[in-house]
Amino acid sequence: MAYGSSISNGSVTPASTNIPIVIITLNGIVRICGLWPRLHSFSIGLEGSPDLAAARVAAELLKTVHYEYTFAVQDGLDAVADVIYHLETYDVTTIRASTPMYLLSRKIRAMGVKMVLSGEGADEIFGGYLYFHSAPNADELHSETVSRVKNLHYADCLRANKSTMAWGVEARVPFLDKAFLDVAMNVDPKEKMSYKGKMEKHILRKAFDTSDEPSTKPYLPDSILWRQKEQFSDGVGYSWIDTLKDTALVKVSDEAFAKASERWLKDTPQTKEAYWYREIFEHWYPQDACTESVVRWIPRADWGCPADPSGRAQKAHDAAYEKSA
């Protein structure tokens, strides 16, 4: 398919460089040209997290030199204030996801690695987030993908850039290669719809599916290729977001939260977690002009999606909040 061809024929070929290149996430980037004899890959999560298990399986098939890091919830909590400082945002989902990436980047830099390849962009291009299941039609889905791609610098690319550069690591994003974007964004949006049993990012998954080519070595294990979308902040371990919410309940009093709209007339925090992040942000950046630069990542309410940006808040998730309640 065109997507697989676009990736393998140049979209993931790094620019001329004399430093080692590795993979920071294993969600579709499977063949890289680098200076090291073998591809090096990294993953992070809480003990027993879904992402750690999935990365382990992928690394075994791809024969990468794989590094697996676990972090304790307290490690993440201790880093939240620094993450907000480096990312210059109070957006809930960005902070949730950036904290583990920030911790992983510190480990990567300590090994002497200065550049990584990361998978940001695929969900925006192909409608991969679970809330896209609620898109009413192909035209609206396409409009949303265009909007998400245009605003990546406020969200996933902000995270990929600043979480890594806080430690002097440069992240490159092959899915946002211009040639690949030219192909992927001109696909009939009907092909990106998730319905009638089709998974999110179905056409991208099929591009790497070799089940009908018996003589071709698999690019990825089926369990990874057809794994449901798991947002990074969920994949590192479900207790990560749960603990952030619980911590905010302790740090933000009912009285303070009740007056949130008086304290912040614009972009008023709707949860105690958001209130907590906003307080930390104002500690670092008290000027109004700083607040004006923040754009929050929120699923489409007009599609009937919950305001919580976690993938588990969406009905389509196999472990959705409402299913475990």
Look up the domain containing 120 and give its range: 2-324
Mean pLDDT (the chain, rounded): 87
Kindly report the backbone phi and psi dihedral angles of residue 308, in degrees, each rounded to the nearest multiple of 5, phi listed first. Answer: -65, 125
Task: Return the pLDDT at 204.
Answer: 94
Task: Return the pLDDT at 29.
Answer: 44
Q: Express each pLDDT in 58-76 by its tens digit.
A: 999 999 999 999 999 999 9
Cα dihedral 75/78/83/86 (nearest 10): -120
Closest CA to 159 of 297, 273, 19, 15: 297
Distances (CA, A) of 110 to 41, 100, 106, 168: 15, 16, 6, 10
Q: Express each pLDDT in 19-65 by its tens digit.
A: 555 555 544 444 444 455 678 999 999 999 989 999 999 999 999 99
Mean pLDDT calculated for residue range 246-269: 97
Predicted confidence (pLDDT) at residue 94 exceeds the cutoff of 60: yes
The Cα 191–Cα 55 span in angstroms is 28
Which three-class secondary structure string do you get for 10-37? HHCCCCCCCCCEEECCCCCCCCCCCCCC
Task: Return the pLDDT at 86.
Answer: 98
Distances (CA, A) of 88 to 32, 119, 149, 229, 247: 32, 22, 20, 27, 21
Is the separation of the CB atoms in 25 and 123 below 8 Å? Answer: no
Among 108-122, 182-196, 302-316, the least confident range: 302-316
Chain center to CA of 10: 23
| Position 144, amino acid | E
Q: How many domains are contained in the chain? A: 1
Task: Return the pLDDT at 14.
Answer: 46
Query: What single-letter DSSP state applies at residue 312?
Result: G
Q: Which residues contact 199 (CB under 8 A, 6 or more apart)?
A: 205, 226, 228, 229
| Paired tokens of 251 | 């740090």
Other CB atoms within 10 A of residue 322 CB: 11
Task: Return the pLDDT at 22.
Answer: 55
CATH number for the domain that contains residue 50 = 3.40.50.620
Is the separation of the CB atoms in 40 and 65 below 8 Å? Answer: yes
Q: Which residues contact 178 (CB under 8 A, 6 or more apart)?
A: none
Mean pLDDT calculated for residue range 266-283: 97
Mean pLDDT calculated for residue range 148-162: 95
